[in-house]
Amino acid sequence: MIRVAVWIDIDSRSGVPIYVQLVAQVRHAVEVGGLGPGEKLPTVRGLAEELAIAPNTIVKAYNELQREGLVESRRGVGTVIAEGVAEVAREGKRRAIFERLRLLVRDAAALGITEDDLWEGLDSEFERIPREKGEEG
């Protein structure tokens, strides 16, 4: 059994919901390859014992991870990291980047930076990326 708890550090005093912290940290572990497809997560009871968190909160987090497609529950096995998790993680990152783009454009507009200026900046940033990658797709 892998110890998911090594990836998880809950701050019960922060204003961030505990289940949100759990979800974000499991997601991070998946993104950095700490947890891979097919790996089994602890049972609700097991994780409640390890982290001393109310079982209901863990159920909520597992449900959210399942909704996001990061984990799936298998009969007789329990909750495991989903097979297509790399795909899901990439899609999540992609969405995060476009969200950052949205904010970037909004902030730029608020500061009076024109669309052309922004394009120029984008172009020169892309120039910096080494050629071999990206070119072939």
- 1 binding other proteins? (CB under 8 A): no
Interface map 96-135 toward other proteins (x if CB under 8 A):
-----------x--xx------------------------
Torsion angle, alpha carbons of 77, 81, 82, 88, to 10 = 170
Among 27, 24, 19, 29, smallest CA distance to 58 is for: 19
Between residues 75 and 131, which has the closer beta carbon with respect to other proteins? 75
Q: Is 77 in the site for other proteins (CB under 8 A)?
A: yes
Tokens 């495991």 -> residue: 80
**Ramachandran angles phi, psi of 67, nearest 5°:** -60, -35
Rounded to the nearest angstrom, the gap between the alpha carbon of residue 35 and the centroid of all alpha carbons in its chain is 12
3-state DSSP assignment of residue 83: coil
Q: H-type helices in 32-69, by residue range?
A: 44-51, 55-67
Q: Does 76 bind other proteins (CB under 8 A)?
A: yes
* Total residues belonging to the chain: 137
Please state the closest distance from residue 126 (CB atom) to other proteins, in A.
26
Q: Taking CB under 8 A as the rule, which mask of x and - marks residues 21-60 in contact with other proteins?
A: ----------------------xxxx-xxxxxxxxxx-xx
Q: Which is nearer to other proteins, 67 or 90 (CB)?
A: 67
Q: Which residues bind other proteins (CB under 8 A)?
A: 12-20, 43-46, 48-57, 59-60, 62-63, 66, 73, 75-79, 107, 110-111
